[in-house]
Amino acid sequence: MNEALTRPAVVSRISDLIGYTPLFELCRSENGSRLLLKLEMYNPTGTAKIRMARAMVDAAEAAGELRPGGRIIESTSGNTGLGLSVIAAERGYTFTAVVDNHACSDKLRGMKALGTELIYVVDDGTEELATAAREELAEDMARGQDNTIFTEQHNNPANGVGYFPVAHELHQALDGRIDILIGAVGTGGALCGTTRELRKLVPGLKTVGVEPKGSVAFGGPAHDYYQSGTGTPEGAGIGALVDFDLIDEGVKVGDVEAFATCRAVARTGLLIGGSAGGVVHEALTRLPSLPPGTTMVALVNDGGEKYMDTVFNDDWMNDRNLIDPATEREIDETLTKLREN
């Protein structure tokens, strides 16, 4: 790939603002190993997922499956839907998002504001994650319809391709000096897509996948979880893009630890989303024992602004027993100490 890795000074499409996201050094260990965050909330819609949304639409157009005036249908927890909303608006497609109430309300409101039609798979107001039911409905709605595609993010190779530029951005920014990539695994597009491309440039790269406790891609037991947009809940198939050959280690982080990390990181001045909290928690745990001079990059899928009603709302957190002051204090202390190095 031979693309310019700087953005033009003036652009005329919002999608031209995708990518070139910054790297932020959150902290370093005593021996000089550092944890860098790839801040994907600096993409339009505040999430990495607009990268794959554009790639899926590009692929459908190239295959002749989507033509002017066509309709896009996707099952989404919100971030993919936000990305597809932008691309559909730019290119004149109709976009229907099949959603559930587990999604952050700000993501749902954002899609609507961008002109997207929302269809709730369960409309009784329950918060339950309904990935499998959402996907079934989206597939049914698209079946047999002319010029209509179900982008099927869990099974669409373009999802992974959409993240190839992340590899090039990292490689260029760090001059190839990246040892560990750590990121959330839902569809697997972000972590496995980035890894697939980055290993061509950095063959020794180690990749760590993080999913919520309760998710099943890295084994059981299955139970409900509140980290949104990530993981594979019971009943949903593991996405075709989750390539275990590209993930050296798969680990699980609980909601309490993930959200406590979001709240601790916020006190450094940065708002990160719930799944990124899980990723950063795992990265902080590993950092002190890495060999001297290691560079670990954590993919931050989205920012914390969308989680004011949940992760950053004490009432919501308390109602679900998600606050543990001792855990929060411990993470706060670890982070503070690592930031002094």
Ligand X SMILES: Cc1ncc(COP(=O)(O)O)c(C=O)c1O
Q: Does 334 bind ligand X (CB under 6 A)?
A: no
Q: Does 110 bind ligand X (CB under 6 A)?
A: no
Q: Does 212 bind ligand X (CB under 6 A)?
A: no
- Of residues 148 and 230, the one with the C-beta less far from ligand X: 230
Contacts to ligand X from residues 123-152, by CB under 6 A: none
Task: Check: CB of residue 96 under 8 Å from CB of residue 141.
Answer: yes
Binding segment (CB under 6 A) for ligand X, from list 57-65, 93-101, 181-189, 196-204: 181-189
Please pick, from the candidates 230, 232, 261, 334, the single residue that binds ligand X as defined by CB under 6 A: 230
Q: Does 229 bind ligand X (CB under 6 A)?
A: yes
Edge-to-edge, what's the strand order for the sheet holding 23-28? Answer: 23-28, 34-39, 295-300, 180-184, 206-212, 249-253
Buried b (16+ CB within 10 A) or exposed e, 309-331: ebbbeeebbeeeebbeeebbeeb
- Of residues 70 and 212, the one with the C-beta less far from ligand X: 212
Please pick, from the candidates 19, 70, 81, 189, the single residue that binds ligand X as defined by CB under 6 A: 189
Please pick, from the candidates 43, 187, 232, 261, the single residue that binds ligand X as defined by CB under 6 A: 187
Identify the DSSP state of 244: G
Helix (H, G, I), strand (E, B) or coil at 194: helix
- Residues whose CB falls within 8 Å of the CB of residue 127, separated by 6 or more in sequence, listed in order: 101, 102
Q: Does 21 bind ligand X (CB under 6 A)?
A: no
Q: Which residues pair with 72 in a beta bridge?
A: 95, 149
**In the block, residue with structure tokens 């959603």:** 99
Cα–Cα distance for residue pair 147/145, rounded to 1 Å: 7
Q: Does 45 bind ligand X (CB under 6 A)?
A: no
Binding segment (CB under 6 A) for ligand X, from list 64-72, 121-129, 182-190, 331-339: 182-190
The residues that touch ligand X, with contacts defined as CB under 6 A, are 47, 49, 77, 79-80, 184-191, 229-230, 273, 275, 301-302
